[in-house]
Structure formats: structure tokens, C-alpha cells
Amino acid sequence: MWRFHHSVSFLIDGLGKGIGVCEILWDTRQAQWKPRDYEWVDPRFLRPERETLRQFMLLTDSNPVSGVSLSPGKFIIHQPRLKSGLPIRNGLARLVAVMYMLKSFTVRDWWAFGEKFGIPIVVGKYGANASPEQIKTLIDAISSIASDAGCAIPQSMQLDMQETASRNNGGALFKEMAEWCDAQTSKAVLGQTMTTDNGSSRAQADVHDRVRMDIVNWDARQLADTLNEFLVRPFIQFNYGPQENYPRIKMSVSEAEDLKSFVEALTPLIDRGMKIQESEIRDRFGLAEPEDGAAVLVPESTFTAFSPAPALNREHIALNRSQEDDIDVMVSEAMKDWEQTGDAFTSPVLQLAKDVGSYEEFLARLPELQQSLKPDEFVQQLALLSFKARALGDANDG
């Protein structure tokens, strides 16, 4: 799995250069061929075909000029569709190259401006009768101030630190130019700027973030198509032969979600009887299915923290549940004696239903059968259970 992710990073390089290629190193030692590793192909060894400029060739030692064709079973070739036209003009690096060049020149001039006008100028003054040796001493003192904290000069000489003017706020001009180049690069790569800038509103940033996610999803779909064409199809064909339909890789991009709001909106629907699959909720939270015997978290009470029921309702529901548990115990005890009391009462009726040939005959012989039935034990047990149930209901109601 790590090697597969490694190959994906190789192919994403095609977003900047227009093409990303990696070589599949197949493991052929067993009956089933599997990718053993993936090797990145340096774009410097790729060149477009001269006639069409649409197919890329691999430069080799045997053919260092024209190159050889890239075999689909041996190479994964990812050519993102960023714009129409020739593939060699399709990379983001070509689009932002001008902005990179302008920013480089701007930053260089900015540093020169800062060095010239940002550092105080040291002015040395000497008298009219100063000798050349004294002037040289003053110049050496001015030079040493650039690296040393102080210098020694004769008392007759004078050094002044002159603060320079901002030259009409020229530094802000270079800063704005560099930021503008960065903004154009962000638009080219991300389709927007507000997810990388400060000071934008939350609503505007959310809108721009959706634009960015649209681009990410589109890149993921294109990468999945490339893997399906150059990796999945050769793997199936090498091991199982040509097929009418092939399995497909699908890449999904996870997006940030407000899970607290999701739970608060979902809980009332569950309380009203809506049936929701548990695995879907686990997927939303990124939680795995509990393993057998694993320690799991359980609520302290029968109600969750999201339940709006007051304390009185909770006590009432807990009382009802206790009552239902007592009734279940009564039914369970009664079913134990059912074979003794119920079989003597119901077996003759079932036997009569088997002997007769029609429903009318069954109704005609049923009064005669009632004379021979012995429901005493059954009636006694049913009356006892009814008495217990009534007593239980009166006790809980009181």
C-alpha cells in the first residue's frame, strides 16, 4: 500500500509539468504478476514526438534523440487535462513561470532598495586643513562602522548618522508587487486566493474553499482514470486475460464537516423513528467497527446527552421499562407450564381439524368436542396470570 501511495505522488508531479510518468516494476516470480515497486521517470528523459507533439517518447542510450514509445503495460502515464491544446503547454509550471520570474525580480529589487534606503548613511566631516592621511583615517572609520560597534577618530573629525527618507513609500510598492504575484499563482493553482490570504470573511472563504475542493475532486477523478487505464487494466489482462468489464479505482476526497451539527440534526429524526444504518454514521465519523471482545464505550444511562426529555419523563420511562421486564418474566414462567396445561386443551381441537374434510364439518362437530375438553387447568393458569398482571399494574399506577 505504501508503494502504491508512492506512485500516486509520482503521478501528481504531472500537474506542474504537464505529464507524470512512473515505471511499473512487475514481480513475475509467481503465477500471478503483481507490481513490486514503482520508479519515477525524470521528465528530462521525456520528449514529445516531433510530428504531432502529443505523444511522449522516452530517451534511451540506444535512441537518445528521438526516443522510444512508452509501453502502457510498463509505464503509468498521467497527463492532467488542465487546458486544451498541446500537452507540452499543459503544465501549471508554464502558467506560473512568468509570475515566478516577476516576483524574483521584484524581491531582488526590494532587497536592493532596503539596503540603499533602509540603512542609515554615515557621514564623516573633516576640516579644510585636513591632510590626506587624516581623510583616509576618516574613511576607514566609516567603513568599520558597518561591521563594528564603534571606531576611533581624531577629536577634530566628526561622524553623523543620517536617517534616510522612505523615498515616497517605495518599499510598499515592492511588497504589493510580490503579493500580487503570489495571488496570481494561487489563482492558477487553487482557483482562488481567500483560503491562503488573511483578512477575508468567513462566508467568502467558504465559497472560495468550495472552488478549491472542486479542483481537487477533478484532479482526483483524472488520477483515478489514469490508474484504471495504465495499472488496473494491464494487471487484469496479465493475470486473467482481456475482459469486457474491468474493476475500477475510485478516489474520494474527504471534506471537513461539522459533526456536532450533524449529530444535533440527526438525533431528533432517530427519536421520531427514522431508521439509519449504523455503518453510515461510523463512516462519517471515521470510526471502525468494534472487534469481537473489544472494550467499548457505553452510556451511563439509557438516555444520551442529546435527549431533551426532562427528569420526570426519564423516571416515567424507566418505570415503564421495569414494568415491561416484570411482565416478560411472567410470560416466560407461564410458557414453561404451557406444554402441561395447553396441550391437553388444544390437541383435541387440532386433531379434529385434521380429521374433517371441510370447514363446515369442523363447525358442526366443534360443539360435541367442547363437551369432552378439560380446560380446568388452562383456565386456572390463565386466571392466575391475569390476576398477577392486574396487581402489577395497580401497584405501578399507585
Per-residue pLDDT of the chain (398 residues; tens, 9 = 90+): 546 676 788 888 888 888 899 999 999 998 899 999 999 999 889 998 888 888 899 999 889 888 999 988 999 999 988 877 887 888 888 888 888 888 888 888 888 877 777 667 777 777 777 788 888 888 887 777 765 555 556 666 666 666 655 555 667 888 888 888 888 888 877 776 665 555 555 555 566 667 777 788 888 899 999 999 999 999 999 999 999 999 999 887 777 777 888 888 888 888 888 888 888 888 888 788 888 888 887 776 554 444 444 444 444 444 455 555 666 666 666 555 555 555 666 777 777 788 888 888 878 887 777 776 666 666 666 676 676 666 666 665 55
Is pTM beyond 0.85 here?
no
Amino acid at 299: P
**Which amino acid is present at 264?**
E
- HSE-CB for 63 with a 13 A CA cutoff: 9
Query: Which class for 7: exposed (0-12), middle (13-18), buried (19 or more C-beta within 10 A)?
Result: buried
Distance CA 89, CA 83 (A): 8
Q: Which helix (H) or strand (E) holds 162?
A: strand 158-162
Mapping DSSP to helix (H, G, I), strand (E, B) and coil, where does residue 58 land? strand
Q: Angle at CA 240, nearest 5°, toward 235 and 242?
A: 85
The grid coordinates listed for 215 are 479542483
Residue count of the chain, please give it: 398
Question: Cα(302)–Cα(298) distance, rounded to whole angstroms?
Answer: 10
Domain boundaries, the chain: 2-90, 93-190, 257-290, 311-397
